[in-house]
Structure 1
């Protein structure tokens, strides 16, 4: 057999080795996380339930899911051990240790476009009209001025200067 015929099998075996190795590493990290659980830690189960660890045994965990609600779960059913801040934010809706109020994005964009100096056009309360005006929409004083300044137009046939 030649090396060219064996190459696809070698690549396939290498890919399988890398996939099992990464899966094994993830399993070890999850087992280490579960072994570091302590009473009082906030957790999320694989089913999506949030609770507080009350007691940790070899293969099981006793969880406090609310006032008077204690549940016994297998350690393998714990998906994540949450930090205290994250658990309080999710379960109780308590925001804690925000870096700075200035870093928050405002609800509207007006504060992003405002300047310290007032704009010259900002003092006018008149709406800005960007369209053409009809003769009926012009102010009365403007039409009166236009009529007094204009003379009747002459046509070529009615010329007075002959």
Structure 2
């Protein structure tokens, strides 16, 4: 076999190797993150719930999901271990500080023009169903199709009966 014939197979095998290697690295990083959890750390579960780690065991983690409410989760259910600042910003609504010391809101509400939204909120929306020639045309077209279908089925029945 020539090298030109084997080249696509070599490229395919190389691509598969690179993809599995990057997936293994991501998986190892996730396992390392879960093993580095300490009590008091804020986490996000794979279901999107934010909680504080109370105890870490071999395969499970005791999370405080609300003050005084504890739940046991599998370590695999932890999606991310969060920094204290990020956890407080998300859970408690604490605003983050920008590099220049100004408060950065956690949503884009400060970017929306209040006068523009008030004007669009006051606009009336017409929810009345339109009737008229367009609706009647559609209805007539459906009736015509159903009549054609019934005519064709009648012709088949007549043709089959006469063939005997």
TM-score range, shorter chain: 0.5 to 0.7
Flag the 1:57–1:103 CA change in 2: closer, same or farther, 3 A.
closer
> Within 5 Å, which residues of 2 pair with 1:117-136?
none
Task: Note closer, same or farther for the CA distance 1:108–1:80 as it changes in structure 2 (3 Å cut).
Answer: closer
Unaligned runs of 5+ in 1: 110-162
Distance 1:6 1:19 in 2: 20
Structure 2 spans left out of the alignment, 5+ residues: 114-164
Residues 32, 108 of structure 1: alpha-carbon distance in 2 compared, 3 angstrom cutoff: closer
Note the 1:22-101 alignment, pairs <5 A: 22-101=22-101
| More divergent stretch after superposition (36-45 vs 88-97) | 88-97
**What is the TM-score of this pair, normalised by structure 2?**
0.61
Matches of 2:92 and 2:66, distance apart in 1: 12
Write the distance in 1 (CA, Å) between the matches of 2:63 and 2:112.
42
**In structure 2, what is the Cα distance between the partners aligned to 1:64 and 1:19?**
37
Query: Using a 3 Å threshold, how does the CA distance of structure 1 residues 104 and 60 change in structure 2: closer, same or farther?
Result: closer
TM-score (norm 1): 0.61
Secondary structure in 1 matching 2:20: helix
Computed over aligned residues only, the root mean square deviation of the Cα atoms, in angstroms, reads: 2.2
Using the alignment, how far apart are the partners of 1:20 and 1:51 within structure 2?
32
Cα 1:38–1:8 change in 2 (3 A) is same
Structure 2 vs 1, CA of residues 13 and 43 (structure 1 numbering), >3 Å: closer, same or farther?
same
C-alpha change, 1:18 and 1:83, in structure 2 (3 Å) is same
Aligned length: 109
Q: What is the deviation of 1:58?
A: 0.6
